[in-house]
Amino acid sequence: MTALRVNTGPFLQARELLAIHDRLAALHARRAPTPALDEVEALLAQVRETSHGVAYDPFTDAAAHAVAIAREHSFGSERRGVAFIAAAILLRRAGHILRAPESEAAVMTRALANGALEWVAYARWLRRWSSPSAASEQAPPVA
């Protein structure tokens, strides 16, 4: 019998998302206001609350974070980029490497942000473009 893993996946910190936002804004030479720390903390708490009691799956978790971030307007024009990078970081921390083509990632994350794509489809897309990292391939199975 397999034990149910609940909320045991890697978590993102609000300050990490703010750093990603600011880095993207600088990279794109935009003067985007940084979202308030308490707003981002509330957003992450809401994602965690929504997934409470659900068996952990890294792709579902990454997609849940991505949809919340991509549809959060306080991230401004960088919200889609922050959402995609956050998903990639969560997958990496869970032992997966996201290898999606940049052009397809932009299309899929834009569709997620504007509601044309549901998070379940985004989770499937993340799974399709991910592979186990070398470290996770060598890790012993969890009992």
Distances (CA, A) of 108 to 13, 61, 62, 99, 122: 24, 17, 14, 14, 7
Which amino acid is present at 80?
R
Identify whether the C-beta of residue 96 lies closer than 8 Å to the C-beta of residue 46.
Answer: no
- 8 occurs within a structural domain: no
| φ, ψ of residue 97 in degrees (nearest 5) | -115, 125
Report yes or no on 61 lying in a domain: yes
Residue 142 belongs to some domain of the structure: no
Q: Is the model's pTM score more than 0.75?
A: yes
CATH at 71: 1.20.120.1870
Number of domains in the chain: 1
Residue 34 counted as domain residue = yes
Q: What is the pLDDT of residues 2-31, one digit of tens each?
A: 333 334 567 889 999 999 999 998 888 877
Query: Is residue 6 situated within a structural domain?
Result: no
Q: Which domain holds residue 82?
A: 14-134
Specify if 140 maps to a domain: no
pLDDT tens for 66-92 read: 999 999 888 888 999 999 999 999 999
Asked if residue 98 lies in contact with residue 92, where contact means CB atoms within 8 angstroms, the answer is yes
d(CA 113, CA 34) in angstroms, rounded, equals: 19
Do residues 60 and 123 make contact, with C-beta atoms less than 8 angstroms apart? yes
Answer for the pair 78, 22: CB distance below 8 angstroms, yes or no: no
Whether 75 and 82 have beta carbons less than 8 Å apart is answered as yes
Work out the average pLDDT over 129-136. Answer: 83
